[in-house]
Each structure stands twice: as structure tokens, then as C-alpha cells.
Amino acid sequence: MRIGTRASDLARTQAGTVADALIAVGLDCELVPMTSDGDKTRASLASLGGTGVFAAGLRTALLEGRCDAVVHSLKDLPTTPHPGLTVVAAPVREDPRDALCARDGLTLTELPHGARIGTGSPRRAAQLRTRRPDLDVVDIRGNVGTRLGFVTDGELDAVVLAAAGLHRLGLDHVVTEHLDLADWPTAPGQGVLAVEIRTDTPPDSPLRGALATIHDDAAWACAQAERSVLATLEAGCAAPVAAYADIRQDGGADILELHAVAYRPGGGDQIEHRASGACVDGIDGAIALGAEAARYLLDAGASAWIHD
């Protein structure tokens, strides 16, 4: 089996983890790196919109039979299903938090007035402008190494990145603060990998069988609730929206707790909603919870921040 991946270090590492897990359950597979338009362009993430620019090239390769499965970061994957393709597996979730990587070991509160902090994400920019309106938020692009380079070469005082990506790359030591999910929720699907295959892959194929064994129901249910927020908002991965779900045990029952927040892009205001429900009915319940949270955000006036 050929596992397609974007060519960046992070994408290859992530796809490598999935390939290793599949090999461990007896599947014969190899990685096939491909270049996506999202990796080639230097345009800002906000200007690209939530169009799935990172996923598009991989999906074409999959549909054309140049590979048999592709590995995505779920947070970069549009919520609209792609004709002919199915997302079938999500391994156990990696750390979903955002991580501050600052010079001199500084935390967000310790950064001096006017410090320059880089992010390409409208959500992170809005969160930063709310928490520290005095900071200079700089729009940056590039892979993890490039972004960290802005701090080491002194051009920026800090950047905010996903802890998951840093951890997968063995870069935990560059993190100067893990931002607490309770007041810094992250992107829908952050830290979750998704494996996509062609829908016509036979149900009894070794590929589907191996993928079923590496699937994590909890990661999947949480990610579905979070992505349902985005889908109901009709927002893309570049919207200033956070959604984080977790599963809590309550007397033998699994309770899914969802926190969804829409941010005013310039900072200073946010609308949030917390919803929880038993997930006995599997992902349908999770999806309903996400839709409920999104409708709350829309009723409270979040639309103007998301769709402008």
C-alpha cells in the first residue's frame, strides 16, 4: 500500500507514524511524498481561506490511484466530504493545545509591551489580541522550522504553534508555555490525524482492516463534534473559531463536553458556548452537540466575525 503525504517534515513524520502503526498490524506499506499548492504558495492563510489548499493535491493523487491512502492533519481538512473519498481512521489524539515558543524562556504574560509575535492563524491572532492587546501580531507563513527560525534569528519575540506538531517533530524543548485549553481552546481537530481512502476500497480489503485497528473512537467522536461546529457555521479552517471537545467518565457513562468560541478578528470580544451530552449514540450525538453550539454562536451574533 502506498501512503501519500505532503513533503514537509511534519507531514512526513505524521504519515510515518500512521505507516508504522499499519506495518505493526501486518500491512505492507510505504510513504509517497507529494507537493501541495498550500506548501508552494507564500500567500497568507487568511487569504487562502478554508479551501483545503493543503489537502487538494493529496486528494487528486488518491483519486488518480497514485497512492492508496493519504494522511491529513484533520484541522486542515475542509468539513465538506470529497466525492469518491472517505475519511476512515483517526489514531489517538496528540496534545491538542497551542504552544508559545518565545525567546529567553518567556511566557505570554512575561513578553514585554509591544513584543512581536507571529502566527498565520486568524483564531490565534484574535486570541492574542484579546489576551495581550499591546502585542504586535505579525502574519507569518511557512513550515514549523521556518516559523521557529523567526524567533531564533531575532526577527520575532515569539510564535504560537500547535503542541502536537512540535511534539511529533521532537521539538518539545522549544515550548516556553503550553496554553491552557480552558481559556485558550484550539482549532477543530487540532492534534488529530485523519486517514482518507477511496470510497470504493473493498470493505474486506487488508487496508480497511488495518485502518480499523488503529482507529480511536474517542478522538473521532471529539473531532466530529468540533468539526460539526465549523460545518454548521459554514466556516473554514481560517475562521477565528475554536472548538475543543473532551470525554469525561460519569458513573460509567461517557459524557462528551464541547467548548466552542467565536472571536472578533481584531480581538477584545468573543462569544462562547459549552455543551455536553452522553455519547451513547456515537458520532450522531457528537455532531448534534456541535451543531447546537454553532447555532448558539450564530444566534448570539457571531456571523459577522466569521463570514466577513
Ligand X SMILES: NCc1[nH]cc(CCC(=O)O)c1CC(=O)O
Tell me which residues touch ligand X (CB under 6 A).
73, 75-76, 161-162, 164-165, 190-191
3-class secondary-structure state, position 16:
helix
- Grid cell at residue 164: 502536537
Q: In angstroms, rounded to a whole number, what is the distance separating the alpha carbons of residues 88 and 158?
A: 36
4-40 residues labelled b (16+ CB within 10 A) or e (exposed): bbbebebbbebbebbbebbeeeebebebbebebebbe
User: How far apart are CB 71 and ligand X at their closest, in Å?
Assistant: 11
CB nearer to ligand X: give 160 or 296: 160
Residues with a catalytic annotation lie at 75-76, 123-124, 141, 147, 237
Q: Are 38 and 244 in contact (CB under 8 A)?
A: no
User: How far apart are CB 16 and ligand X at their closest, in Å?
Assistant: 14
Q: In angstroms, rounded to a whole number, what is the distance separating the alpha carbons of residues 239 and 246?
A: 21
CB nearer to ligand X: give 88 or 162: 162
CB nearer to ligand X: give 57 or 165: 165
Starting from the edge strand earliest in sequence, which strands make up the sheet with 85-89, in order? 30-34, 2-6, 69-73, 193-198, 85-89
Q: In angstroms, rounded to a whole number, what is the distance separating the alpha carbons of residues 79 and 188?
A: 10
CB nearer to ligand X: give 121 or 296: 121
CB nearer to ligand X: give 89 or 161: 161
User: How far apart are CB 202 and ligand X at their closest, in Å?
Assistant: 29
User: How far apart are CB 165 and ligand X at their closest, in Å?
Assistant: 3
Q: In angstroms, rounded to a whole number, what is the distance separating the alpha carbons of residues 186 and 83?
A: 28
User: How far apart are CB 31 and ligand X at their closest, in Å?
Assistant: 17
Q: Are 165 and 144 in contact (CB under 8 A)?
A: yes
